[in-house]
Chains A and B, each alone.
Chain A
Amino acid sequence: MARPVRFNIHPILADPKRQIQLTNMPDGHTGEGFFATRLSDVVGLARKNSIWPLPFATSCCGIEFMATMGSHYDFARFGAERLGFSPRQCDLLMVMGTIAKKMGPVVKQVYLQMAEPRWVIAVGACAASGGIFDSYSVLQGIDQVVPVDVYVPGCPPRPEAILDGFMRIQDLVGHESLRRRHGEQYKALQESYGIS
C-alpha cells in the first residue's frame, strides 16, 4: 500500500526580516566610542567569513560540491563565493574525491604551493580514508600525504554535510592564534609530512 505523503507538504514562505543574522561580536571591552578586543579575534572573524577555497574535485564528491555551490545550498553565503584554482591565492584546500597513488604527489605539490595560513578539508570517504576502494591503486586517505584539518564522511556527503565541515573549518579559522605557524606542535606536524 503506498503511504500518503506526510512531510514537506506545507511550503514555508520566506520572511526576510527574520532570516538575516548578524555575526556575534567577539568578547571585548567596550566604552564610549571604543571597543577593544584581541587582535587574533578580529583577524579570525575577518578570515573565517572570507575563505577562498580551492576545490580539488576529482570524482563524485565534486558533483555534490557543484550542487553545494548551486543556489539551493548556496555556498556563497559563507563568504566562500570566490573559488580559486591557483593554490597560491587560496586558503582552504578542499580535496573532494578519490585520490589515487598517481595523484598523491600532485596533491602534495598543490599543498606546498599554498601560502600560510592554509587549511585542508577532506570531503568524502575516499579522501578521508580511501573509502570503498581498498585497492592497490588508491591512496588510503589523503592524510598520508598532507596534514588534514577536517574530515567530512559520506559517500558522497550531502551538501549539508559539506557545509557542516566548512563551518568547522570556520571555527578553526576563527580561533586560530596569530603565532600558529611558529608553534612547536605545528612545526612537528609539518616535519612529519616532510614539509620543512
Chain B
Amino acid sequence: MNTEHHIKLPEGSIERTTTTLNLGPTHPATHGVFQNILELDGERIVSAEQTVGYIHRAFEKIAERRPYYQITPLTDRLNYCSSPINNTGWHLTCEKLLGVKTPKRVDYLRIIIMELARISDHLICNSVVGVDSGAYTGFLYVMQYRELIYEIYEEICGSRLTTNMGRIGGFERNFTQAAFQKLDKFLAEYPKVLREFEQLFNRNRIFMERTIGAGPISAERALNYGFTGPNLRAAGVDYDVRAHSPYSSYEDFEFDIPVGKTGDCYDRFLVRNQEMWQSIRLIEQAYEKVKEFKGAESEVFHADIPEYYLPEKEDVYTKMEALIWHFKIIMGEIDIPPGEIWNSVEGANGELGFYLISDGGRTPYRLHFRRPCFIYYQAYSELTHGAMLSDAVIVMSSLNLIAGEMDA
C-alpha cells in the first residue's frame, strides 16, 4: 500500500493537504469490485490510485489443468455480460491451432450470437452510465429487452448468462425453430426500443452536461495506454478487430465503425449506441444469409472433424468409429499439435486476446488472456486528473469495467 497519501497543496490553496477518499471495493457505483483511493482538493481530484485483484480467480493457472474443451466455461466468466464472444474467441483460437475450417453456416450463426452478445453488453454499460447519472428509467426499460436476448441464448445452449456456447468446430446442436422465432421477435421489437433509449439520453441536457468533457483522452495517449474497443474508437482511432483481421466470415458483411472525437464519456456513450445499430445491421444480414441455406445445408452446424468434435450419442451406441472417437476425445488421447498461437476477437469492451502455448498434451502449457479492461483501467488516473468527484464515478462506469475480466 502506498502509505504517503496526503499530497501537499501549493500556496494559496484553501486547504493544506488533500483529503483521502476511499471509493470501493464495495461501492454502488463500482460495478464489480475494484478500489480507488482518491486524493481530493475540495471536490477536485488530484490523484487516483487503483487497487484491483479483489476477484482474482487464477484463470490462467486453472487453464493449465483443464483440457481444451473444458476451458470454454472458464472463458464465459471473463466478460460475463457478453459470454458468447469469449466462447467463440476461444473456439476460434483452438480451431486456428488445430487447422480446422468451419463451414459458412456455422460462421454466420456465430456472428449472430456474437452481435447479440455485443448488444447485451453495450446495453448494460450504457444504461448503467444512465443510472450513475441518476436516470434509472433507461436501465429498467432495456433490461426487458436483455431478457429477450437471454431467451434466445436459452434456446440455443440452455443457459442465460454464462453460456458455454458452441464447441470447437461449431455448435452442439442446430438452432431450433423457436430460436429463430425469438430472433425474429427481437429484431422486430428492439430497434424501436433503441431509438427510444437514444431519445431519452442523446440530447438530454442534464446528461450532456454531466458527460461532455468528463474523462477525455487523446488518440495518442489512448494508443500508448493500449486502449482498444469502443474506448479507443471514441478517442478517434478506427481500430476494430472485426474489420482489421476478419474472423468467422465478418468479411462477407457490411458494417460501419463509429468513431468519436474527444474520447470523453459522451463520445463513448454515443459510440456504443451506434455500435448497437451496426450490430443490428450485422444480425439482419447474417440472418438473411442463414435463411438462404436450404435442405441438407441447413442442417450443418459443425465442421466435419471427428477428431475433436464429439459424435452424436446415437452413433456412439451403434457405430464402432464413433465409439472410439468418443473415448479418445473424453480421455484426452487426441493429438493436439504443439505450437504457440495468438488470436484475438473484438470483445464488447476491446480486443480480447488469447495467447496459447501447446506442448502436445491434453491441457495447454500456458494460456494467457489479454484482457482489455485490465489494460485500459491503468489510464483512469490520467482520465480523472483535475476532474470533479462526480466525474470520477461517471468515467468509471463509461469505461465499461467488468471486474471478472479485469482480474481473471
Kindly state whether residue A47 has any CB partner on chain B within 8 Å. no
- Interface majority SS on A: helix, strand, loop or mixed? loop
Complex alpha-carbon distance, A63 and B82, angstroms: 11
> A59 with B161: in contact, given A67-B147, A72-B143 (CB under 8 Å)?
no
Contact A58–B403 (Cβ < 8 Å): yes
Contact A85–B27 (Cβ < 8 Å): yes
> A132 with B58: in contact, given A60-B404, A70-B143, A71-B143 (CB under 8 Å)?
no
The residues in A between 89 and 133 inclusive whose CB is less than 8 angstroms from any CB of B are 97-100, 102-103, 106, 110, 132-133
Contact B32–A100 (Cβ < 8 Å): no
Counting chain A residues whose Cβ lies within 8 A of the other chain, the interface size class is 35 or more
Complex alpha-carbon distance, A58 and B25, angstroms: 10
Minimum distance in angstroms from A124 CB to a CB of chain B: 10
Q: Which residues does chain B contribute within 8 Å of A63, judged by CB atoms?
A: 80-81, 124, 161
Kindly state whether residue B61 has any CB partner on chain A within 8 Å. yes
Contact A133–B177 (Cβ < 8 Å): no
Q: How many A-B residue pairs have CB under 8 A?
A: 103
Contact A71–B140 (Cβ < 8 Å): yes
Q: Which residues does chain A contribute within 8 Å of B56, judged by CB atoms?
A: 100, 102, 137
Q: Which of A2-10, A26-34, A36-44, A169-177 contacts B (4 or more CB under 8 A)?
A: A2-10
> A66 with B58: in contact, given A59-B403, A60-B162 (CB under 8 Å)?
no
Kindly state whether residue B53 has any CB partner on chain A within 8 Å. yes
Contact B26–A110 (Cβ < 8 Å): yes
| B187-199 near A? 1/0 per residue, CB < 8 Å | 0000000000000
Chain A residue nearest to B407 (CB atoms) is A100
The residues in A between 144 and 172 inclusive whose CB is less than 8 angstroms from any CB of B are 155-156, 158
Kindly state whether residue B324 has any CB partner on chain A within 8 Å. no
Minimum distance in angstroms from B126 CB to a CB of chain A: 14
Complex alpha-carbon distance, A4 and B27, angstroms: 47
Q: Which residues does chain B contribute within 8 Å of A60, judged by CB atoms?
A: 76-77, 80, 161-162, 404
Complex alpha-carbon distance, A58 and B80, angstroms: 11
Contact A5–B177 (Cβ < 8 Å): yes
Contact B53–A102 (Cβ < 8 Å): yes
Output the residue of B33, B54, B403, B407 with the most chain A CB within 10 A. B33
> A4 with B57: in contact, given A60-B80, A63-B80, A67-B147 (CB under 8 Å)?
no
Q: Which residues does chain A contribute within 8 Å of B404, judged by CB atoms?
A: 59-60, 98
Minimum distance in angstroms from A157 CB to a CB of chain B: 10
Complex alpha-carbon distance, A5 and B61, angstroms: 43
Complex alpha-carbon distance, A97 and B73, angstroms: 15
Contact B147–A70 (Cβ < 8 Å): yes
Residue of B25, B32, B144 near A72 (CB, 8 A) is B144
Contact B55–A98 (Cβ < 8 Å): yes
Contact A59–B26 (Cβ < 8 Å): no
Kindly state whether residue A80 has any CB partner on chain B within 8 Å. no
Kindly state whether residue B150 has any CB partner on chain A within 8 Å. yes
Complex alpha-carbon distance, A164 and B355, angstroms: 41
Residue of B26, B31, B62, B146 near A135 (CB, 8 A) is B62
| A41-72 near B? 1/0 per residue, CB < 8 Å | 00000000000000010111011101101111
Minimum distance in angstroms from B291 CB to a CB of chain A: 13
Residue of A67, A85, A97 near B143 (CB, 8 A) is A67
> A64 with B161: in contact, given A58-B32, A102-B53, A103-B54 (CB under 8 Å)?
yes
Complex alpha-carbon distance, A60 and B144, angstroms: 18
- Seen from chain A, the residues whose Cβ lies within 8 Å of a Cβ on chain B are 1-5, 56, 58-60, 62-64, 66-67, 69-72, 85, 97-100, 102-103, 106, 110, 132-138, 155-156, 158
